[in-house]
Every structure is written in C-alpha cells, then in structure tokens.
Structure 1
C-alpha cells in the first residue's frame, strides 16, 4: 500500500523494532515512550535463530552481532550437577545458520535506538488512552505487559495475571573464575537457576521461584545464597561475583487468557501487549521482533491498512499464542514440579531422551523465516 503515518506507543524492544520496520517500508513514524529517558539497565536475553533472522530483516542484524556471544555449550542439570540434557549449539548452527546467542538487553536496545533518526522517539510522553494521540493511519500498541491501550480496546478481558513465579536476576560484576558453560539451566523442586555468558565474559544469572506475588527480601543476594548456595558449581561462584545492588526482582505476569484479536480498527497490538508470556523458552523478545517484521511486511503488501492488519492478526495470533502455551508448559515441567517422584520422573525422561529429540524441541519455535520487507 502507499506510505502512511504511524504512532508507536512504547519504546521497548518491540516498539523500536516496529518503528524500524515501518520506516523501512517508507512510513512516517513517531514513538511515544513514557519514561523521561532511556536508562541502560536490565539483564540479558538469549535469542534463538528466529530473533536473529528478524533483526536481519529489519536491517540491524550486523550491528547486533557485534554485541552478541554465540552460545554453544551447556544444557539442563539437576541441583547436584548431573547433566540431564545437553545443548548442542553447533548442531543448531548447522540447522539454522546461527546458534543461540546472548546479548545484554541494554546493548540490543541501544542498537535499535541508533537505527532510528533523531526526533523519531519522544520520551516523557505518557499515553493513557487512544484519545489525545496524534492523528495517524496506524497506532501500534507496544506498551507492555500492563498495556493501557489493550485494556481500553478489550475492557472485558482479564488482562495480565500473575504467573505464579517471581524472577531474581543480575549481571555479574566480573567474569567468574574457571570454565563455565555458555548457557545453562538447573531445575530443582519449585525453583530454577540459569545463566548465560556475554561477549565481555560477564554472566547473567536468573533464579525463578514459585512463591506468592509481592514477596520481597531485605537482602535479595543473601536470600539467593540461602536458596542456591548448595547447588552445583558455578552457581555459588556466580552469586559471589554479584553486587547486592545489581539484583533485580520482578514478578512475572502473563496473558493466560488469549486475546480474541491483535487488532481493533487502526490499532495493532505488538509484543507483550499482545501476548505476554513466561520466559521459560526465552522467546519473549524474539516474538516481539517477529511481530514487528510481519506488521511491516503486511502493510507493505496489502492494499489497505485494514487488510494488512487482518493478515497480521491471522498470522501472528496463532503463532505467538502457541509459543506462550509452550512456555507455560515448560515452566510447569521445570520449576513447577515439587514432588520428589515427579521431579525424578522428569529428570529420567530428560536423561533418556535421544539428542535428536532434544534438538527438534529447540527447532520447534526457532525455525522461522521472516517475510521480505521490500
């Protein structure tokens, strides 16, 4: 279709990616971000081939590659260190052209910001509803898990709910001593501990706990040492390499009730606003990037905005809601298990599973081909 104008509400990864995609097809785009300024905070992202391919389609893949580390080694372990399933990053690279990669969220966000011209992103812009937005042919609601625009468009939808898990995470102050897997996950009863290594050698770790919402600790790092200090190496070493003030703590919310549509009128929902999911598959950011590419491609190829949004909804709703269900199920089979018999059966099944079966599970969501934008 002919070029148009768009307002993107939300300057996170999904919103910035949408703006880049729309500009690549010739649209005039304004991004409204409520934060007064962008702060380079946050932890890390593990990204599969689908996310990397989406970045390539947006024209920022090479810039992001300069900031990522390929993750070849690792797997899933029990708290005593027993290897239950091995991650074969080299096999993923042979199948998909890229292994899993690790990147600091701040680095990814910086690359996306730098791909947009000065003045495109306006910070300090609080958007409480559709009224008052600048006139535009398209509104992209990329305003996150607690999306105000989603609540306005779907007033009867329950919105995001607590997933049952809280996550504590941090990036180590320094690289840990000794060898360490690139990407690892450990499942214990009602808890998970994982890590990924960045290009500078520092490590992001995360701890998932099944606890009631709102639980906080006077000293989060001390609580992590109490909960995980007896787990296998390098878990204690990662905690020792962390400053207490660097630990982030967030309750995880998800859209457990799927939305009936991702579009209403001229508004398209994108990223967490459309399909907030648990982080168990590491697909949240990649699905938002996919959204951005598909939205731009459909707008470029359809005769009207209405038809483009119909195609976007049909394509993205089915895939993202399938990924969200799979992520929820992965959590239930991981940290969601607490009974000793259930965890023993799961661990045995993982240990006995053929490597090809494990590889296919990784390929299930990562093997995605982006549409061409031009």
Structure 2
C-alpha cells in the first residue's frame, strides 16, 4: 500500500478549513496564510516520513496546482505530486505538453488527478457552461487525446466537444503520468474504466466502499483503487477523540447550517453521499468504527476522518486494504502536525505488521521529520 499526503493550497489551520463545493475558505476557524516555505515544510516532512506523493486541490478557492507543485519540486527529492486539474479549462494538447515538461524536469514525479467538475456555478466562473453529463463526455474525449499524445501518436480528432488537428508532442513523458479519477455518478464509471489507472473514492464506511469498488470492477477488473480521508491519530484513542471534539468546539450551529445549505445545492453525487452520512447535525458522527463524519459538517468534498490510536487507525487502513484499496490519500489539521502523528505512529505500526515499507528502504531509519512547535520530536509509541 502507498500513502499520499495533502497540500493545503487554500491555507491551513488548527481548525477545519472550509473549501470546495461552494464552501468559503476559513468557514470554521482562522486560516494560516499560505507560503511556499510552509508548503515546503509539509512536503519535505511528508517525503521523509514515508509518503510517496501529495495531492493538491483545484478550484477557484485555492492556489493553482500546476504552479504550486512545480515550485515545490525544487525543495523535494522523491515526493510525487498528484496535480488536480479540470479538463474543460485547458486544451488537451497543452495539458499533455505541460505534463511532459513537468514529468521530465521533475524526474518522473507527476501524477494526474482528473477532476471533471461537479459544480456548474463554479465551472461557469471559468467559462465552462456544459452540464454535468456533458462534462463527463468531454472528459472522455480529453483523456483519449492526452493519452494518445503520451504514446507519441499524432492525433486528428473531431468529437462532440473537442477537436484537434495534427496534435503531437515533440517529447513524450517517460513514464507517462498515471491518471487518478473519481466520480460516484453513473456517467463517471465508463470514463474511469476507459482511461483511469486509479479510481478514487471518498472515505465512506467499508460496506459502501465495497459496493462502489465492485461497480468499477465490473467495468474494469484490473483497476487500482485509492481512498481520500482525513486522519486524527494519537498515542491513545482518548487523545484522538479529544482532538476530534476540539475541531468542532468553536463551530456554532449557524455556521454548520450555512455550510450545509450551500453543500445541498451541489450537483456532485459524491458530495450527496458525504452529506447523507451525518445529515447536517452533530448527532451520530461516528458512522463506522473509527470513522468520523465531523469534517463534512463544515467542509465540502472529503468529509470523514479516521480517528483513534495508532493501532486502531492501522486496523482500519488494513480493513480498507482488504477491500482492494491500495492508495490512501490523507490529510489533517494542521497538515504539518497530523503528518507527523501519522508518519511516526501509524506507518511504523504498519511496517511492524509487514504490510508497508518506507519508500526510501533501508535509509528510512535515518530520516526524521522537520521539527515544529507543539509536537514532540521523538516518535510517539504505538498504543
């Protein structure tokens, strides 16, 4: 199994930071201003702790993922960048050229997270006026062109939404960046099956995740799977749940109501499924063992967190892995601190069980996270 962290390119906080699907940044607490120095700390710590990559979001509410990760590639050595982007907002030939340049100049560290776009209101800000089903159809055309260019082909294509003539790359990426793709609506499945290397799902309870994976396997039996979750891991279960409670203690009911009202307007099937987990209130936020839906009260998109001791979190990760999840894309508030707790608590426990190995191999023991205030620099003991 592989682990990826998250780069908070819309700002960070000790509280839950809003963003995505119409939620304003800072909907739940003060936001730490974004700097390349701080993102560099997170990226370097993630790399040293054993994460293989880092996801960046895309949208009007955050910094541009291409530019930000290109800058961060200079302050890291091994870490890959899972760059989120929307096919409808860029030419497929230009996207292929940018990918090729990034892959070559970073030493093969680009992964592509293709986001079709679930909110028409936000898409229109960028000049995209297609409806949801049409956006999925355009994404299929887009990826077909891009992947043909990655193979070194000269592409002539006339589709319903896109058209290119004599498109080619002077230099093809080697290797071609892998395609990560998520979507819970029926229109998403065939696109994923035709073009994705990794299908992504948000952190629903295991039974729901199992059903979704079975749906995609019927379309593409050899698909790889990833899951997007937040995480709160501590030396003891009690300490982890205290931290989960703290994240919501300063959030009043009016703020939750405002965020939920905005999220209910979302066209995203995945967002609807996230909302169904908690119903917009604080009661019943534990939706499966160690799976807490509190994040989704004040944040759009991924709204659940694994909460517990390092051993408990490792147990839940193994449970998802047994369903077929091989890639875990994680985050936490603040991102520098939670990367430390997971990297120094859960990853050693998974290594002890023989189900995970540090990407640096034998050099892993020599790596240490960059120290920061408020967290001990010695590794916490797994409970």
What is the TM-score with the length of structure 2 in the denominator? 0.26
Q: Which structure's residues are more often strand, by fraction?
A: 1
Task: Choose between structure 1 and 2 for higher RCO, CA contacts under 8 A separated by at least 6 residues.
Answer: 1
What is the TM-score with the length of structure 1 in the denominator? 0.27
